[in-house]
């Protein structure tokens, strides 16, 4: 089917996203520095790329799903990278969550070789990556977006173009502020209810249908009650997003007082050895302060 897709970055998110493209009948050539991840996606039907450059040479559309701005710069602009390999006319779709300014920088650099870049970060976490129901926020030229929309719709339940290059990542920063502060509010509230002597599971069931109900509440409270902090979305990655939000706020002149607080709470958890926990693990910060644990009454 259709165009050959290169996929670079097969982590918690990239692996299920690539597998969904294979299931939909697309032909994929893949690369990651983690050989196990590559082997798993090759077993699902992808071709193994010898290098990033090799993947780019063989693809009309190149998707990247990497941790942060420096990784995207390295993979795209570095030696033996995407830019060296890609053919003029190729479309680079960076689905990583990175600083909007870096999206613009990388886009300007690849334009010189007639490569168009789109930033298309996602929200929804591993479960929605597996289901192919991610929310995808797209920045970049409208005509390039039209050419990759079908592919994005395989991975996403909602695919919305919000503006020019960088605006996908600006939207993602807004998303990450809202998610982080929701998790903090949920944690603070659940610790209060538990220490005041009310069963936290009953509190959750009582409030989830009202105004306090949210996707975050439904996704994270059951995991907290099970004491399951396996990522999902790692605290260290959320710190990265909030730092990008704070930097962007400083660039454009927007103070972000609450974002700074939750970022420092996550920083405290990192110091406490919990950087690789799921971001639902923020509850542990409040639990330590209050000397109580939020869990099912049967546990």
Question: Minimal CB distance to ligand NAD: which residue?
Answer: 11
The interface mask with ligand NAD, positions 225-264, x = CB under 6 A, is: -------xx---x---------------------------
Stretch that binds ligand NAD, among 55-63, 65-73, 196-204, 250-258 (CB under 6 A): 65-73
Distance CA 106, CA 268 (A): 32
Give 162: exposed, middle or buried? Use CB within 10 Å, 0-12, 13-18, 19+: middle
Active-site residues, by number, are: 172
**Minimum distance between the CB of residue 299 and ligand NAD, rounded to whole angstroms?**
25
* b/e code 228-244 from CB counts within 10 Å (16+ = b): ebebbbbbbbbbbbbbb
33 lies in the site for ligand NAD, by CB under 6 A: yes
Write down the residue that tokens 């192919």 correspond to: 132
148 lies in the site for ligand NAD, by CB under 6 A: no
Kindly tell me which residue out of 5, 6, 7, 8 binds ligand NAD, with binding defined by CB under 6 A. 8
Stretch that binds ligand NAD, among 121-129, 140-148, 260-268, 289-297 (CB under 6 A): 121-129
280 lies in the site for ligand NAD, by CB under 6 A: no
**Minimum distance between the CB of residue 172 and ligand NAD, rounded to whole angstroms?**
8
Q: Identify which of 163, 59, 73 has the alpha carbon closest to the alpha carbon of residue 119.
A: 163
Element (H, E) at 29: strand 28-31
71 lies in the site for ligand NAD, by CB under 6 A: yes
- Angle between the 14-23 and 142-155 helix axes, to the nearest 10 degrees? 90
Please, what is the end-to-end C-alpha distance for the chain in angstroms? 50
Distance CA 7, CA 46 (A): 10
Kindly tell me which residue out of 2, 23, 25, 34 binds ligand NAD, with binding defined by CB under 6 A. 34
Q: Which residues contact 282 (CB under 8 A, 6 or more apart)?
A: 180, 183, 184, 187, 235, 262, 265, 266, 269
Write down the residue that tokens 């695919």 correspond to: 159
The interface mask with ligand NAD, positions 185-224, x = CB under 6 A, is: ----------------------------------------
**Minimum distance between the CB of residue 3 and ligand NAD, rounded to whole angstroms?**
21
Residues present in the chain in total? 299
Query: Which stretches of the chain bind ligand NAD, using CB under 6 A?
Result: 8-14, 31-34, 37, 65-67, 71, 74-75, 96-97, 122-123, 125-126, 232-233, 237
């Amino acid at each position: 089917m259709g165009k050959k897709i290169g996929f670079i970055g097969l982590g918690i998110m990239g692996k299920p996203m690539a597998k969904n493209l294979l299931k939909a009948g697309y032909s994929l050539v893949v690369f990651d520095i983690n050989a196990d991840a590559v082997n798993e996606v090759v077993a699902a039907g992808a071709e193994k790329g010898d290098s990033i450059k090799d993947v780019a040479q063989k693809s009309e559309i190149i998707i990247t799903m990497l941790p942060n701005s420096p990784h995207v710069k390295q993979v795209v602009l570095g030696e033996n990278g995407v830019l060296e390999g890609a053919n003029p006319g190729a479309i680079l779709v960076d689905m990583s969550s990175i600083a909007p300014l870096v999206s613009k920088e990388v886009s300007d650099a690849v334009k010189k070789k007639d490569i168009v870049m789109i930033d298309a970060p996602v929200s929804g976490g591993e479960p929605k990556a597996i289901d192919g129901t991610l929310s995808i926020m797209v920045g970049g030229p409208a005509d390039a977006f039209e050419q990759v929309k079908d592919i994005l719709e395989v991975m996403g339940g909602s695919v919305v173009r919000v503006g020019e290059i960088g605006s996908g990542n600006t939207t993602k920063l807004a998303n990450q502020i809202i998610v982080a502060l929701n998790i903090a509010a949920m944690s603070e509230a659940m610790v209060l209810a538990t220490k005041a002597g009310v069963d936290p599971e009953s509190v959750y069931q009582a409030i989830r249908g009202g105004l306090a109900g949210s996707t975050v509440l439904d996704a994270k409270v059951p995991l907290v009650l099970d004491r399951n902090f396996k990522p999902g979305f790692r605290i260290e990655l959320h710190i990265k997003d909030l730092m990008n939000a704070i930097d962007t706020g400083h660039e454009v002149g927007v103070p972000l007082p609450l974002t700074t607080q939750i970022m420092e709470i996550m920083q405290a958890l990192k110091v406490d050895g919990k950087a690789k926990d799921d971001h639902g693990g923020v509850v542990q910060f409040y639990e330590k302060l209050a000397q109580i644990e939020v869990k099912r009454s049967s546990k």
